[in-house]
Structure 1
Amino acid sequence: MSFLVTIAPAQLSFTVKPDETILDAALRNGIDFPNRCRQGVCTSCVCKLKSGEVRYSEPQPLTELDKQQQFTYCCLAYPCTDLVLHHPFIQS
């Protein structure tokens, strides 16, 4: 089962395969998605979760503040549902 991810405000949509991170799926779909370290350290791929649910492999990369602010580390996140994410620097 794949999930649909939409990036606002660009309104770009793509599907994520099972066991594929959001970042890997975006790059596979030709989206110019900011990324560097792919380890959840540099924060260039961080989006704000507007709707939906994601999961992470252990150890959980999010701090309590990250969770409160609805941050999603796309290099480490796997969708559990369709998602709407916000990233101000991704353009269509």
Structure 2
Amino acid sequence: MTDSRFQVRIEPAGITFTVSPAETLLEAALSAGVDFPHRCRQGVCTSCVCRLKSGEVRYDEPSPLSPADIEQKFVYGCQAFADSDLVLHHPFIRP
């Protein structure tokens, strides 16, 4: 069994890193040396929230997303797992 890895691109910084389906976006970003904002790692503080530009993510149940989060395409990096290649927007991540 091979470990599928997906590519994640963070805009507008243009940073890319890979993530396995078993690790959160935050875990993968930090492992790749990306200065990804975070504090609580529980989906509460919203420091890691990005906007989904393309791709698909999933969450363990219960999902931290409210109906408003879903409508605005918010992604909680500390809780989200990639199900495809992703393009995310986070204005405070810098190269």
> Fold conserved (TM > 0.5)?
yes
Q: Tell me, which stretches of 5 or more residues in structure 1 are unaligned?
A: none
Question: Matches of 2:87 and 2:57 in 1, distance apart?
Answer: 11
Segments of 5+ residues of structure 2 without an aligned counterpart are none
How far residue 18 of structure 1 moved from its aligned partner, in angstroms, is 2.5
- If the length of structure 2 is used for normalisation, what is the TM-score? 0.96
Aligned residue identity for 1:83 = L
Identity %: 63
Structure 1 runs of 4+ with >4 Å offset: none
- The aligned runs of 1:14-25 (5 Å cut-off) are 14-25=17-28
Q: Residues of 2 paired with 1:44 and 1:88: CA distance?
A: 11
Deviations along 1:19-40, one digit per CA (max 9) or x if unpaired, are: 1000000000000000000000
The CA deviation string for residues 18-70 of structure 1, in whole angstroms up to 9 with x for no partner, is 21000000000000000000000000000000000000000011000000000
How do 1:58-77 and structure 2 match up within 5 A?
A: 58-77=61-80
Measure how far apart 1:3 and its partner are. Answer: 0.5
Match of 1:83? 86
Task: Measure the CA separation in 2 of the matches of 1:82 and 1:67.
Answer: 19
Tell me the residue number matched to 2:11.
8
Partner of 1:30: 33
Paired residues in the alignment total: 92
Query: Aligned-residue CA RMSD in angstroms?
Result: 0.4
8 Å CA contact retained: 2:21, 2:83: no
